[in-house]
Structure 1
Amino acid sequence: MRITCVHQGYELYGSDRSFVESVRIIRRAYPQARIDVVLPRHGPIVAPLSELGTRIVVEPLWILRRRDLVRLMTLGLLSLPVAMLRAWKRLRSSDLVYVNTSVVADYLLAARLCPGRALVHVHEIPQGATLTVLRMLIRWSGADVIFNSRATAAAFALDGKARTRIVYNGIAGPAAPEPKTYDGTRPLRLLMLGRISRIKGQEVLVEAIRRLSDDILDRLSVRIVGSAFEDAAREEALAAAIAKAGLAEVIALSPFVDDPSDLYRWADVVTVPSRLPESLGRVAIEAMSYGRPPLVSRIGGLTEIVEPGRTGWMVAPDDAAALSVALERIVRDPAAWAGFPQAARARYEALFDERAAASGITEMMAARLARSNRAAPAPALASVDS
């Protein structure tokens, strides 16, 4: 059996790590299958995938990114027929093609020409015209669809003709949570982890911290970790905002890291102050797996992760004042949330570990293959092609 897995990224941010875990699930379910992994370029993601895929193929993909829409809709259209032909050839030669996210337009367009072979896993909640375009692409493709949250499924609102299922991302956490060590006698360690972008809310966090009184600032240590996607100006603007607010002694800004495990161990609380809907919220789930309660925006899939007042906190999105108030309460009264770390870990184990995701993904794949009546196993070897 030949399975092709297609991903739009090449780094190791949350969406990239989710893809690696999906490929791991597929490999475990079909250990003898030939699994080709298609990426748009080489990057940190290649190393973990090389242990799972039979072959890693790096080739151009026609990816619908908001910042590239003008180029894609003009000169980029010239490359679309070639991209679709390449995708059609892979679809035709595969028993199943797993497409990670709805923005890989060439594969969704070509899937219509190879009915019954595509499974798209939707991990995003786009806005406005972009959502309309992506919804049309999925409907056109005829692919089976996995949504990573109820919020994502509701945003796309596909009709009853599509075969869909909601499967929360399965995230590999530590074997046991880290012990809680914060009791108010040292500064609270607050972590924000993720790509620097208008969506994630780094600026909201900086403004919320700026509003805190000096006595709270003295009891707070903050790390904002991440990089902007090919946008150095955004990173420089965030650093300038921290300096202008006089918070250089409180907030440490550092670049993206491939393995965030040490950061979660360092933290007491992890914040996800997203300004626009997250399809789920991987960082919040990873935090809970380490026994770190998350402070998140009440928006999108984040509302499906956190139980306010039990496993973490929620505040209104894009509201620096509300976030500031929540931070002050967390710092002033650690006893009020003493049970949150244990409850957060328990919720992670119940809903978000790899077993739950593995069941949902493999059942969707098995159903797709059964309807297509394709099941020819093939051995797997590891290599990297470019």
Structure 2
Amino acid sequence: MRRRICYFLGTYEDWGGASRALLNFIVRVDRQKFDPLVVVTKPGKLLEKLAELGIATAVRPKQDWNGNPFKFVLDVFQAIAFLREQKVDLIHLNGGSLGWKPPELIAARILGTPVLVHYHIVSKSVTPFLRFVQGVIAVSRFVAEHTPFGGKSISVVHNIADVARFGHGRSIRQELGFAESDIVIGFLGQIKSIKGVEMFLRLPEALDNPKVKFMIAGETKDKDPEFIARFNAAVAANPAINYVGFRSDPENIYASADILVMPSQWEEPCAMVLFESAAARKPIIASRTGGTPEIIQDGVNGLLFERDDFAALVRHIRQLIDHPAERAALGERAYQAVEKSFIQAPVQKLEHLYLETLG
């Protein structure tokens, strides 16, 4: 008998680390054992994509305590009705996908439906309703060790690589204005100060090589208008930098780059860029922060540098620019590493956790 797993995604699109990470698992769980139901916050193209994959979906807005106890009780009863109607056996929700005081957890407690919460970042504090869940999934040992989960059972399940998608991107250099002879250094991710974008913007002057071009892809998310102004000014002032903005085809952006750089200035929990660049067989240079060293072995499947060591980042890039064979070998070893450890093994670990939780 297949068990229905209800996934609360917390979004309506597949761009963004946490949502894309969970979606990678959803499409790979054993359909003979599990029947996935994905709950999104509003209609969008993601529903069409999931329908094509034969995955059931539902739309429910995020709900939270608003100071009105009658409204909260009504939300609880509506959540009970939803879980019953959908015949949900287990709930798997992204941390932050529901409100701080989510009525869905009360409904699950009343129905006796087990809940697993998936944490993709370190949180200084977690919802007090965490006491109603059966277990916590952390995307890295770093997240597990630095978030106060209050004694809850914690399983570390690293993210996985979507080789089917990111291993089959096509180069769109001509569309992006790059020559085939250019060496393209890429940055993919949200445009935020903590992502190290400003360090990346210093690279053209430091490398001073007319054959090296720079590509930045991602949505501007930083709330600091001064940072946004500095970013826009730097991009406008340097013709070697091409900011392509948000792209719905990140697989083609990876395919168009020669080297990926992830200069994060915060404790990166388990960045999807590490897995996606590896799936595309592209070498990556990343700052040694958070859970990144759990994925990247320096010199084996990528290169690491201390977050504030700009000189080391420049040295790594120059090394790969000057040695194309080494560049290709590093990308190939990155692919082999994800193929061995970050495609099927985490999915099997998650499936085992489902069965264990369901008893």
Fold match, TM over 0.5?
A: yes
Q: Per the alignment, in what secondary structure is the counterpart of residue 42 of structure 1?
A: coil
Does 2:156 align with 1:166? yes
Q: Describe the shift of the 1:144–1:202 C-alpha distance in structure 2 as closer, same or farther (beyond 3 A).
A: same
Q: CA shift at 1:177, angstroms?
A: 5.9
Alignment of 1:116-265 (within 5 A): 116-126=113-123, 131-134=124-127, 136-138=128-130, 140-158=131-149, 160=151, 162-174=152-164, 186-207=181-202, 209-214=203-208, 216=209, 218-229=210-221, 237-243=230-236, 246-247=237-238, 249-265=239-255
Match of 2:8 in 1: 6
Separation in 2 of the partners of 1:239 and 1:116?
Answer: 49
Gaps of 5+ in 2: 172-179
Q: Which residue of 2 aligns with 1:363?
A: 352
Alignment correspondent of 1:57: 58
| Residues 38/232 of structure 1: CA separation in 2 closer, same or farther (3 Å cut) | farther
Paired residue for 1:30?
Answer: 33
Distance 1:321 1:141 in 2: 48
Hey, what does 2:256 align to over in structure 1? Answer: 266
Identity of aligned residues (%): 25
- Does the 8 A contact of 2:193 with 2:222 survive in 1? no
Counterpart Cα distance in 2 of 1:263 and 1:362: 32
| In 1, Cα distance between equivalents of 2:281 and 2:302 | 11
Consecutive unaligned residues of structure 1, counting only runs of 5 or more, are: 64-71, 371-386
- 1:382 maps to none
User: Distance between the aligned counterparts of 1:347 and 1:367, measured in 2?
Assistant: 28
Q: Which residue of 1 aligns with 2:174?
A: none
Q: Which moved more, 1:165-174 or 1:80-89?
A: 80-89
Q: Which secondary structure does the structure 1 equivalent of 2:231 belong to?
A: helix
Paired with 1:228 and 1:82, the residues of 2 have a C-alpha distance of 37
Deviations 1:227-270 (A, max 9, x none): 13596956565222323xx32x1110012222222112111111
User: Does the residue aligned with 2:248 lie in a helix, a strand or coil?
Assistant: coil
Aligned to 1:69: none
Question: Is the CA contact (8 Å cut-off) linking 2:38 and 2:58 kept in structure 1?
Answer: yes
Instruction: Assess, with a 3 A threshold, how the Cα gap between structure 1 residues 85 and 119 changes in structure 2: closer, same or farther.
Output: same
RMSD: 3.2
3-state DSSP of counterpart to 2:116: strand
How far does residue 44 in structure 1 lie from its aligned partner after superposition?
3.4
| Number of positions where the alignment pairs a residue of Structure 1 with one of Structure 2 | 339
> How far is the alpha carbon of 1:6 from its aligned partner?
0.6
The residue aligned with 1:383 is none
> Is 1:199–1:276's contact at 8 Å kept on the other side of the alignment?
yes
Report the Cα distance in structure 2 between the residues aligned to 1:103 and 1:112, rounded to whole angstroms. Answer: 18
Relative distance call for 1:345 and 1:275 in structure 2 (3 A) is: same
Q: Which one has more relative contact order, counting CA pairs under 8 Å at least 6 apart?
A: 1
Deviation at 1:42, TM superposition (A): 2.5
Moved more, 52-61 or 94-103: 52-61
Partner Cα distance (1:266, 1:213) in 2? 20
Going from structure 1 to structure 2, the CA distance change for 1:48 and 1:318 (only over 3 Å counts) comes to farther
